[in-house]
Amino acid sequence: MSNAKETPSQLQQRWQQLMQQQPRLRARNAAQQLGVSEGELLAARLGKDVTRLTNDFQTLLESLVRVGPVMTITRNEHVVHEKVGYYSNLQLKPHGGGAFDYNINLRIYFNHWAHAFAVDENGRQSIQIFDRDGTAVHKIYRTEDSLPTAWEVLVLQFKADDQTPGMTAEQIAEPYEIKPRHKADATALCAQWRGITDLHQFWFMLREHNLSRLDALKLADEDLARQVPVAAWKDVLLRSADMGISIMAFTRSPGVAQIHTGPIHKIVEKGEWFNVLDPTFNLHLRMAAVHEVWVVYRPTDSGGQTSIELYHQDGSLIAHFFGAVNLQAPEPRRWRQLLANLPSLKAKAA
């Protein structure tokens, strides 16, 4: 967070000086160098190229379909997930919901949506959402196929009365207190895990046992979760592309899970990044950030789903991938076999 004595004007001046030195620096990296959150940096620019929007997030999202195709970006520290499509087929309630367009598929949690801004960076226009601590949650960019007049009308419609520069970043508490792994009841955990009938029950199980996601994997029996070599995730994605297997690629920010469903095609490794560069889907994943990789099985009414999950050294989830499913159809047999053939680190150690 920023120094409480620093005014938005002073922060903006520091940002301008930094951009003169590093004109290609992205906002997220600039904020890190300046010692503030990305949201605070953006809020300091209000009245320049930034406009504060109201917090009527549900109506805002429902209105986006009028502007035509957009690009949505959801990211965390180590992966950037970009999709081009329509903000359509929304199912929203006050707590959140989802977008279920063929290309733009989102799960939305409004408790992490606190600040909204319209941004115009040299003609590149976007709507950007931030959590209470200033962490970027979701970004929506106008594309060359978007309707420019409809975009301008949207920004004016949701422009907030208060355009005073600055925002106060708040510390966010964890949703529940994490229990040390050695105090957990592994037998009870596995029994409940095997009784899951829907993927969404997994999170509630973690909360009931007060466990982090990674700790739960480490406590589970190997038929539920097993650690595989770090390089396995890359091999799985390359082979999925070669075999034409449709996958589901999940990237999560605090307030959004963004999902690509379908095959992947063009894969390019450049520098530290593993990139998927398809027409309506781009993924940029920092390879060195992946510290542990797990194959995870969750029972469901339709026969269960198997994922490969990537974790950072700090235990946070970077990204996870499933075989694509439709309605109650089982996951693709080739996907399940691909993950089943991966060597287990536990088995190798034995």
- Specify the DSSP class assigned to residue 18: H
**pLDDT (tens digit per residue) in 213-254:** 999 999 999 999 999 999 999 999 999 999 999 999 999 999
Which structure tokens are listed for 103?
């290309």
Which of 139, 124, 85 shows the shortest CA–CA distance to 253? 139
Residue 22 within any structural domain of the chain: yes
Domain that holds residue 338: 181-265+288-349
What value does the mean pLDDT take over residues 303-325?
95
**Confidence class for position 77, pLDDT limits 50, 70, 90:** very high
DSSP assignment of 276-334: EEETTEEEEEEGGG--EEEEEEE--TTS-EEEEEEE-TTS-EEEEEEE---TTPPPPHH
The reply to whether 82 and 191 lie within a common domain is no
The reply to whether 192 and 305 lie within a common domain is yes
Instruction: Report residue 267: phi and psi, to 5°.
Output: -115, 130
Residues 318 and 327: their CA atoms lie apart, in Å, by 26
CATH code assigned at 139: 3.40.1570.10
pLDDT at 5: 73
Which structure tokens are listed for 113?
């949506």
Give the three-class secondary structure for 69. coil
Residue 99 within any structural domain of the chain: no
The reply to whether 126 and 208 lie within a common domain is no
The reply to whether 214 and 143 lie within a common domain is no
Is pLDDT above 80 for 4?
no
The reply to whether 153 and 219 lie within a common domain is no
**pLDDT (tens digit per residue) in 259-292:** 999 999 999 999 999 999 999 999 999 999 999 9
The reply to whether 75 and 136 lie within a common domain is yes
Residue 43 within any structural domain of the chain: yes
**Confidence class for position 48, pLDDT limits 50, 70, 90:** confident
Burial track 176-208 (b if 16+ CB lie within 10 A, e otherwise): eeeeeeeebebeebbebbeebeeeebbeebbee
Give the list of residues 6+ apart from residue 85 with CB closer than 8 angstroms, or none.
69, 70, 72, 101, 102, 103, 104, 280
What value does the mean pLDDT take over residues 181-191?
95
The reply to whether 205 and 83 lie within a common domain is no
Q: HEC states along 37-53?
A: CHHHHHHCCECCCEEEE
Model confidence, pTM:
0.93
Is pLDDT above 50 for 100?
yes
The reply to whether 141 and 88 lie within a common domain is yes
Residue 2 within any structural domain of the chain: no
Is pLDDT above 90 for 20?
yes
Which structure tokens are listed for 29?
């990296």
Place of tokens 């792994």: 181
The reply to whether 256 and 138 lie within a common domain is no
**Burial zone of 126 (CB within 10 Å; 0-12 exposed, 13-18 middle, 19+ buried):** middle
**pLDDT (tens digit per residue) in 141-153:** 999 999 999 999 9
* Number of domains within the chain: 2
- Specify the DSSP class assigned to residue 180: P
The partner residues of 107 in beta bridges, in order of sequence, read 98, 257
Residue 297 within any structural domain of the chain: yes
Q: Which residue has the higher pLDDT, 330 or 161?
A: 161
pLDDT at 327: 57
Residues 59 and 63: their CA atoms lie apart, in Å, by 6
160-164, 166-170, 174-178, 336-340: least confidently modelled range: 174-178
The reply to whether 332 and 202 lie within a common domain is yes
Residue 51 within any structural domain of the chain: yes
The reply to whether 242 and 308 lie within a common domain is yes
Residue 174 within any structural domain of the chain: no
**Confidence class for position 177, pLDDT limits 50, 70, 90:** confident
Which structure tokens are listed for 335?
């996907």
The reply to whether 120 and 204 lie within a common domain is no
Residue 332 within any structural domain of the chain: yes
